[in-house]
C-alpha cells in the first residue's frame, strides 16, 4: 500500500506548467527537425494545406455557389468555379496521398531512431549502480516503452496545432465577416472545455504513473513464459508456473483497480464534456440563433446561414482539437520530462583527470575500501590489499563474502564509498573510464552469449574482416580449449550461435559457452585479467588443462581470479580468504594450510570429497 501511495504522489508530480510543457515540445521539435528537416517541413505543409482545402471546399464554396443561386447568377460562372476547384482538389489529393503513403512512413522510423539514440547516448555512461535503483529502472523501462510513442504523439500534436490554427484563423475570419454573433456560442463552450480537459489530463497521467510498476511486473511475468531461459525450469517445476500465473494475475488485479479508481472520475468529466459541448451548445444554441437571424431578423441569407454555421462549427472543432492537442502535449511532456530526468542523471563514475590507462602490467593497491549497494548496508568493510604486477591473485570464500563485488570495484563498475584503489600508483578515478575499462579483460559468472556469429561473440566489437583478426580469434579460441573442429560448426568462426534467428545456428553447452567467454579476454591481451569462476562449467580435467594454459599465456599479465574450487588457487602467488566482506586470511597455499584457519578447513573439505571417492 505504501508503494501505491508513492506512485500516486509521483503521478501528482507530473502536473507540469505551461512553460515546462512548451519546453519539452521545443526539445522534440529541435530533435525532429535536426533528424529529418525536409520531412518535418512537408509534415507541417500538408497539415496546413489540408485545412485550407477543407475551408474552401466546405465553407467558401457553399457560400459562393449558393450565393450565385440565390442571386440568379449565370451558369457559366458556377461551371468554371467548379472546374478550377476540382483541379485544385486533385492536385491536393495527389500531394496528400504521397505524403501519407510515402513521406510520413519513411520519416517516422528516422525520428524514432533519433530519439532512441538520444536516450542511448545520454545513458550509456551511467553508473551500473543505477540498475540497482528501482526508480531508475522504472524510468528506464518507461523510456524503452514510450520513446516511439513520444515521437508519434508529438507528430500528432504538431499536426493538430498546424491544422487547428489554420482552421481557426480562416473560420474565425469568415465568421467575423459574415456573422459575428455566432461566435458567442463557441466562446461559451471554450471555457468549459478547457476546465474539463485540464482535469482529465491530470487524472490520465496520474493513472499511467501509478500503473507503471504493476505493468512492469506484469511484463516480467509475461516474459518468463516465452523466453527460452525459463522454459526448462517451468517444465521441470510446474509449481513455478502457478506462482508466475498468480503474480501475473495480482498485477492485472492492481491495474484493473487503478483503472476503476480513475475511470469513475474520467467518466464523469467525459460525460459533462460530451453532453454540454456537443448537444446543447453547438447544436441547439447554434441552430436557434441562426434561424432567428434568418426568419425573424432577416439579417442573413440562406447561403450565409449555412456557411456561417459550418464556419462556427469549424471554429468550435478546431478549438476543441487544440484543447485535446494541449492535453496530448501535456501528457507527452510528462513522459519526455521523465525520460529526460533519466538521461540527466549525472554519473558518479566519472574521471577526475581523464588520464589514459597505463600500458604496463597492472599493480593495484586497495586502501581501506568500504562499499555498499544500499546506504547503511556495507558489503565490503575496510579492505586493504596489494596486487603486484604480473602476480596471480586468488580471491576465495563462501557465497556472499564479497568477492565479485571487489572485482567490480577493480573494474570501476562501481566506486567505493570510502578508501581508494590505485593502479600503478594512480587513483583509478583519475583515468578516463573507457580507456581504463578497455585495459582490463574479465569473465564473470553471468556472462552472455549473443545471437551473433562465434567470431562476433569473441570480438564483442565491429569486425574489420581481416585475415589477422580471424587468426587472432581462432588462436584465442584454441588457447581457451574451444574445439573448432566440432562437426556442428559448419562455418567455423562464422557459425551463428543460438537458433533464435538462424536455422543453422548452434546452441553451445555450458562449458563451451564459458570457453567462448574466456576467449574474449585472451583475444585482447589486456594488462589485467579478472576471472570470476572461469571454469565452473568445466569438468575437473578440462579445468586443470585450462589453468595450466592460462598460467602460461598470462605469464606477463596480472591475473585476479575467483574460484570455489581451491584446486585452481594452489599455484597463486597470493590467496585472499574473504568472509562477510572482510579479508580474514592472506598468503600462499602452503602458508594458509600451515596456519590451519578457514582456508585450510575449506581445502580439507574439498580434498576429502576426492579422497572418499
Query: Mean pLDDT of successive 10-residue segments in the chain (613 residues)?
Result: 39 67 93 94 93 84 75 75 82 89 94 90 73 72 82 94 92 85 72 74 83 85 78 71 84 91 86 63 71 78 79 82 85 84 62 70 88 85 89 86 88 88 88 83 82 88 86 88 79 86 83 85 82 67 67 77 76 88 90 89 71 45
Q: What is the rounded (10 degree) CA torsion for 534, 430, 374, 125?
A: -80
Q: Which residues contact 229 (CB under 8 A, 6 or more apart)?
A: none
Give the pTM: 0.65
361: cell is 602490467
Backbone angles phi, psi at 241, to 5 degrees: -60, -45
pLDDT of residue 349: 56
pLDDT at site 543: 66
What is the C-alpha separation between 563 and 445, in angstroms, rounded?
Answer: 10
Q: How far apart are CA 141 and CA 110, in angstroms?
A: 21
- pLDDT number for residue 2: 35
Q: Report H helices in 417-525.
A: 433-438, 454-459, 467-479, 510-524
Q: Rounded to whole angstroms, how far apart are CA atoms 97 and 321?
A: 23
* Among candidate residues 111, 34, 21, 9, the one with its CA nearest the CA of residue 337: 21
> What is the predicted pLDDT for the residue at 221?
82
pLDDT at 5: 37
d(C-alpha 304, C-alpha 66), whole Å? 9
Phi-psi region of 399 (alpha: psi -120 to 50; beta: other; left: phi over 0): beta
**Three-state DSSP string of 133-147:** CHHHHHHHHHHHHHH
Instruction: Look at residue 65 in the predicted model and tell me its pLDDT.
Output: 77
What is the length of the chain?
613
Taking alpha carbons only, the member of 158, 167, 203, 191 closest to residue 22 is 158
Asked if 171 contacts 322 with a C-beta cutoff of 8 angstroms, the reply is: no
Q: 3-class DSSP state for residue 529?
A: strand
Which residue in this structure is represented by grid cell 510520413?
104
Provide φ and ψ at 505, rounded to 5°: -70, 160
Q: Of 155, 331, 134, which is closest to residue 217 (Cα–Cα)?
A: 134
Q: What angle do CA 596, 600, 603 make, to 5 degrees?
A: 160
C-alpha grid cell, residue 420 = 581508494
DSSP states along 77-141: HHHHHHHHHHHHHHHHHHHHHHIIIIIHHHHHHHHHHHHHHHHHHHHTTS-GGGGG-HHHHHHHH
* Nearest of 33, 41, 169, 170 to residue 103 by alpha carbon: 41
Amino acid at each position: 500500500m505504501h508503494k501505491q501511495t508513492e506512485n500516486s504522489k509521483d503521478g501528482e508530480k507530473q502536473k507540469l506548467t505551461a512553460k515546462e510543457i512548451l519546453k519539452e515540445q521545443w526539445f522534440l521539435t529541435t530533435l525532429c527537425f535536426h533528424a529529418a528537416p525536409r520531412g518535418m517541413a512537408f509534415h507541417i505543409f500538408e497539415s496546413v494545406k489540408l485545412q485550407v482545402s477543407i475551408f474552401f471546399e466546405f465553407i467558401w464554396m457553399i457560400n459562393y455557389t449558393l450565393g450565385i443561386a440565390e442571386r440568379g447568377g449565370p451558369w457559366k460562372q458556377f461551371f468554371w468555379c467548379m472546374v478550377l476547384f476540382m483541379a485544385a482538389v486533385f492536385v491536393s489529393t495527389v500531394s496528400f496521398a504521397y505524403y501519407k503513403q510515402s513521406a510520413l512512413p519513411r520519416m517516422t522510423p528516422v525520428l524514432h531512431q533519433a530519439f532512441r539514440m538520444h536516450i542511448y547516448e545520454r545513458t550509456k555512461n551511467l553508473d551500473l549502480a543505477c540498475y540497482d535503483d528501482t526508480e531508475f529502472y522504472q524510468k528506464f523501462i518507461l523510456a524503452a516503452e514510450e520513446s516511439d510513442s513520444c515521437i508519434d504523439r508529438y507528430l500528432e500534436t504538431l499536426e493538430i496545432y498546424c491544422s487547428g490554427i489554420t482552421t481557426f484563423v480562416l473560420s474565425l475570419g469568415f465568421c467575423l465577416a459574415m456573422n459575428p454573433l455566432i461566435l458567442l456560442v463557441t466562446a461559451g463552450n471554450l471555457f468549459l472545455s478547457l476546465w474539463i480537459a485540464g482535469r482529465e489530463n491530470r487524472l490520465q497521467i496520474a493513472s499511467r504513473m501509478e500503473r507503471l510498476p504493476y505493468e512492469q511486473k506484469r511484463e516480467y511475468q509475461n516474459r518468463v513464459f516465452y523466453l527460452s531461459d525459463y522454459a526448462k525450469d517451468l517444465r521441470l517445476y510446474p509449481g513455478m508456473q502457478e506462482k508466475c500465473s498468480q503474480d501475473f494475475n495480482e498485477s492485472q488485479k492492481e491495474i484493473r483497480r487503478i483503472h476503476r479508481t480513475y475511470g469513475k472520475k474520467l467518466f464523469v468529466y467525459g460525460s459533462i464534456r460530451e453532453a454540454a459541448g456537443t448537444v446543447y451548445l453547438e447544436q441547439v444554441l447554434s441552430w436557434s440563433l441562426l434561424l432567428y437571424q434568418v426568419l425573424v431578423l432577416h439579417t442573413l441569407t440562406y447561403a450565409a446561414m449555412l456557411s456561417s454555421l459550418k464556419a462556427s462549427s469549424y471554429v468550435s472543432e478546431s478549438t476543441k482539437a487544440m484543447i485535446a492537442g494541449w492535453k496530448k502535449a501535456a501528457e507527452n511532456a510528462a513522459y519526455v520530462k521523465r525520460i529526460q530526468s533519466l538521461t540527466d542523471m549525472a554519473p558518479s563514475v566519472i574521471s577526475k583527470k581523464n588520464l589514459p590507462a597505463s600500458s604496463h602490467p597492472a599493480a593495484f593497491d586497495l586502501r581501506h575500501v568500504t562499499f555498499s549497494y544500499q546506504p547503511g548496508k556495507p558489503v565490503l568493510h575496510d579492505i586493504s590489499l596489494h596486487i603486484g604486477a604480473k602476480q596471480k591473485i586468488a580471491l576465495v570464500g563462501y557465497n556472499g563474502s564479497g568477492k565479485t563485488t571487489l572485482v567490480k570495484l577493480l573494474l570501476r563498475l562501481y566506486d567505493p564509498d570510502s578508501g581508494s584503489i590505485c593502479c600503478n600508483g594512480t587513483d583509478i578515478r583519475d583515468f578516463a573510464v573507457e580507456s581504463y575499462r578497455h585495459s582490463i579483460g574479465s569473465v564473470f559468472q553471468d556472462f552472455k552469449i549473443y545471437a551473433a556469429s562465434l567470431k562476433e561473440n569473441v570480438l564483442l566489437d565491429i569486425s574489420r574482416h581481416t585475415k589477422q583478426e580471424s587468426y587472432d580469434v581462432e588462436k584465442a579460441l584454441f588457447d581457451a580449449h574451444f574445439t573448432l573442429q566440432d562437426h556442428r560448426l559448419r562455418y567455423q568462426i562464422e557459425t551463428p550461435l543460438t537458433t533464435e534467428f538462424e536455422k543453422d545456428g548452434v546452441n553451445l553447452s555450458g562449458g563451451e559457452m564459458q570457453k567462448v567467454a574466456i576467449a574474449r579476454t585472451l583475444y585482447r591481451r589486456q594488462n589485467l585479467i579478472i576471472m570470476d569462476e572461469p571454469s565452473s562449467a568445466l569438468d575437473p580435467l578440462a579445468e586443470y588443462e585450462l589453468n595450466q594454459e592460462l598460467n602460461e599465456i598470462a605469464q606477463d599479465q596480472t591475473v585476479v581470479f575467483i574460484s570455489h574450487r581451491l584446486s585452481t588457487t594452489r599455484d597463486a602467488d597470493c590467496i585472499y580468504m574473504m568472509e562477510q566482506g572482510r579479508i580474514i586470511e592472506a598468503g600462499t597455499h602452503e602458508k594458509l594450510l600451515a596456519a590451519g584457519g578457514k582456508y585450510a578447513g575449506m581445502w580439507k573439505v574439498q580434498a576429502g570429497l576426492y579422497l572418499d571417492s
